[in-house]
Structure 1
Amino acid sequence: MTSGSAVLATDPLTLADVEDRARAVLAPEVYDFVAGGSGGESTLNANRSAFDRCHLVPRVLSGVDTADTRTTLLGVPASMPVAVAPMAFHSLVHPDGEPAVSRAAAAAGVPFTAATLASCPLDELASAGGDLFLQLYWLRDRARTEWLIGEAERLGARALILTVDVPFMGRRLRDLRNGFAVPAHAAPVNLADGQRGGGQSVGGHAASVIDPTLSWSDVDRVRRRTRLPLVLKGVLDPADARRAVDLGVDGLVVSNHGGRQLDGAVPSLLALPAIRDEVGDACEVLLDSGVRSGTDVLRALALGASGVLLGRPVLWGLASGGEQGVTGVLELLRSELEVSMALAGAPNVAAAGWLGVRWGSGAYGREES
């Protein structure tokens, strides 16, 4: 097993390096919009602390030379257990926006999740040739919600990801201090005319378009409405996970919205094992919030995740290098994952799910039986 091809001295060696490059080229208020969390950012910081406290127990003498990172996510073949997370307003960080990210994801062999608040039409993103997921907010405009579901089906999307942790936006202090508003060029074009919010604050725009009354009966309605696999994003409580399974949901994303909603919420990685134990194999379980390396992906797999959604690092790659920058982020992550799996003695993704984990406190997570 080798560590990959030689790199130039100027090539980023970690996703943190990519973030540093993005920070250097972005306007400070745009960087803060992407990087920031809600409130005092305790959950934002706790997401990373949880990964740092999660220690893998490698298996030795396994004879693993090259680890196979290929898997399936929601029935879609993927080159690694990673999909691009839904994120709004890509055009804020680079003029090529979502199309560049969707093309890079297609080339890398990972699914791309188009956001309801994307600044590019869905049909253009579907034309990238890769596997498309659609993230859905429950809109006050029910006709537009129906239209988005219909477009996902018409365009061949492979899954519908309903975000359930945003009745309204968390109080994001960096944006408030900066007086940040979405510029017209990045406005969400998939909303109806008059609802796109150019020039509004993010929180104010969200309050005007997102319906805070989303409930389990609405989830049931969406489940009955679409033939697409349905995933709920933003689940942290095992009881909610069980109820989702009972309604026929196909997948869950264990997520605290990257620390951007309830400040003080449990880190996603800490919530993951109990949710996986609750639902077993009844549905797929993904994770987001805080993933910053291939080793982090392996940690999530060891704790029961089927894969992860990668968010901010994708935007850092886009900001610093456009489509090529996103390609570099995905290549770096896959290379790190391959090396970490081989060093841990996991020849494939299924084997990674049985690695032992020791927390910084000394308590064990999922272990090989």
Structure 2
Amino acid sequence: MHGDATGWLADLESRARAVLPAPVLRYVSEGARDEVTLAEATAAWREVRLLPRVLRDVREVRLGGALLGSPTRSPLGVAPMTLQRAAHARGEVAMAEAAAVAGVPMVLSSNAGSTFADVGATGATWWLQLYMTPEREVAARLLDEAVRHGAAAVVLTVDTPVVGTRHAAPDEERVWDVADPAWVGANLPESGREPDPAGRAKAMDLAPADLGWLRERSGVPLVVKGVLRGDDAADAVQAGADGVWVSNHGGRQLDQAQATARCVGRVREAVGDRATVLVDGGVRSGLHAAVGLALGADAVLLGRPLFMALAAEGPDGVRRALGLLHDELEEAMRLAGCPDVAALRGVVDSGATGPR
């Protein structure tokens, strides 16, 4: 498979505009408040400079391995996204099928429009994204059901005690005013199926003790998503997390939060080899993924570009997007003199990674 992922993914967005209802497109694309963090995400990856190795045998380059105990073909993955059934009639099931073919994990939003059973039936490796509720047992029951249907890990989102403000023109329709109820909430209890995430209560008292409790309750690896600080990452691992996910929620929560490209290195430094490190945010090419891995991530996950691929071309579009990213990453590894993902560590010019 050959081609340029960056150009093709950019073209997908314009094609998706012809398919998606305007409120859905706006909801998926928007950031918090003045969208400062949203605007900086991709540029931050471009700021990083690499110091490639030479005189290395790169005839064979190995992208595959294991992530949280599951085999992977690439150190890539699908980030959690709601409203996928607005992009494609089969929504998360179609996305999971594409992820299964690509050999990468998919993280299923707790507000998905497809059931755990249907996603599990695709054979994909999938993890549940979970918001903690004020009454812990409500979230725990959702987790129990996900694990029963094959969730291989749980991803606890910790950067959303409340939903960040996103500005809209007064005359714009809100997505939740036009959304089909079938697009969301397929796994939530009837009493909790308020479609708008802002209308569902979230715990504002999350603490390290919650991590150990969730890990013990689920029996599967636990990832803490929404970490930008090294000290928070270390605390999460100390409390029982198997992984930390460097994320600013796609620029949708606290505006003017730092770009993830500038945070992943400090998180890796804080946790060492004691935990899996994931990163997302503004990744638009295999080269960006290579930078994320070089900075210390074990895997790089994408959201919006794959949503647009699903809208424009269905599961075939997602497969093509993941294939292009895989091929670009493989090329970058060869050019950097890295025969496997682990060898990418250390090819970053530490004096040119932006402020840390």
1:37-116 superposed matches below 5 A: 37-116=31-110
1:211 CA displacement: 2.7
1:1-369 superposed matches below 5 A: 4-5=1-2, 13-140=7-134, 142-174=136-168, 178-182=172-176, 183=179, 184-198=181-195, 202=196, 205-357=197-349, 360=352
The alpha-carbon distance between structure 1 residues 177 and 48, as it changes in their structure 2 partners (threshold 3 A), is farther
Question: Contact 1:195–1:209 (CA<8 Å) still a contact in 2?
Answer: no
The alpha-carbon distance between structure 1 residues 142 and 63, as it changes in their structure 2 partners (threshold 3 A), is closer
How far does the alpha carbon of each residue in 1:168-226 deviate from its partner, in whole angstroms, 9 at most, with x for none?
1111114876331331231212111132124xxx3xx4343323332223223213322
1:124 CA displacement: 0.8
Question: Contact 1:252–1:286 (CA<8 Å) still a contact in 2?
Answer: yes
Question: Contact 1:303–1:357 (CA<8 Å) still a contact in 2?
Answer: no
Question: Contact 1:33–1:174 (CA<8 Å) still a contact in 2?
Answer: no
Q: Secondary structure at the match of 2:49?
A: strand
- Count of matched residue pairs: 353
Q: Secondary structure at the match of 1:91?
A: helix
1:46 CA displacement: 1.5
Question: Contact 2:27–2:175 (CA<8 Å) still a contact in 1?
Answer: no
Counterpart amino acid of 1:192? P
How far does the alpha carbon of each residue in 1:237-264 deviate from its partner, in whole angstroms, 9 at most, with x for none?
1111111111121000011001010001
For residues 99 and 231 of structure 2, the distance between their equivalents in structure 1, rounded to whole angstroms, comes to: 33
1:235 CA displacement: 0.7
Counterpart amino acid of 2:319? T
1:12 CA displacement: 8.5
- If the length of structure 2 is used for normalisation, what is the TM-score? 0.93
For residues 88 and 362 of structure 1, the distance between their equivalents in structure 2, rounded to whole angstroms, comes to: 32
Q: Secondary structure at the match of 1:56?
A: coil
Q: Percent identity?
A: 40
For residues 118 and 89 of structure 2, the distance between their equivalents in structure 1, rounded to whole angstroms, comes to: 15
Question: Contact 1:302–1:352 (CA<8 Å) still a contact in 2?
Answer: yes
For residues 156 and 83 of structure 2, the distance between their equivalents in structure 1, rounded to whole angstroms, comes to: 18
Q: Secondary structure at the match of 2:223?
A: strand
For residues 163 and 209 of structure 2, the distance between their equivalents in structure 1, rounded to whole angstroms, comes to: 22
The alpha-carbon distance between structure 1 residues 156 and 356, as it changes in their structure 2 partners (threshold 3 A), is same
1:354 CA displacement: 2.6
For residues 141 and 186 of structure 1, the distance between their equivalents in structure 2, rounded to whole angstroms, comes to: 25
How far does the alpha carbon of each residue in 1:254-301 deviate from its partner, in whole angstroms, 9 at most, with x for none?
110010100011111111111111110011111011111100110011
Question: Contact 1:33–1:175 (CA<8 Å) still a contact in 2?
Answer: no
For residues 323 and 362 of structure 1, the distance between their equivalents in structure 2, rounded to whole angstroms, comes to: 36
- If the length of structure 1 is used for normalisation, what is the TM-score? 0.89
Structure 2 unaligned residues grouped into runs of 5+: none
The alpha-carbon distance between structure 1 residues 361 and 247, as it changes in their structure 2 partners (threshold 3 A), is closer
Question: Contact 1:66–1:338 (CA<8 Å) still a contact in 2?
Answer: no
Q: Secondary structure at the match of 2:277?
A: strand
For residues 188 and 169 of structure 2, the distance between their equivalents in structure 1, rounded to whole angstroms, comes to: 23
Q: Secondary structure at the match of 2:245?
A: strand
The alpha-carbon distance between structure 1 residues 12 and 223, as it changes in their structure 2 partners (threshold 3 A), is closer
Q: Secondary structure at the match of 2:278?
A: strand
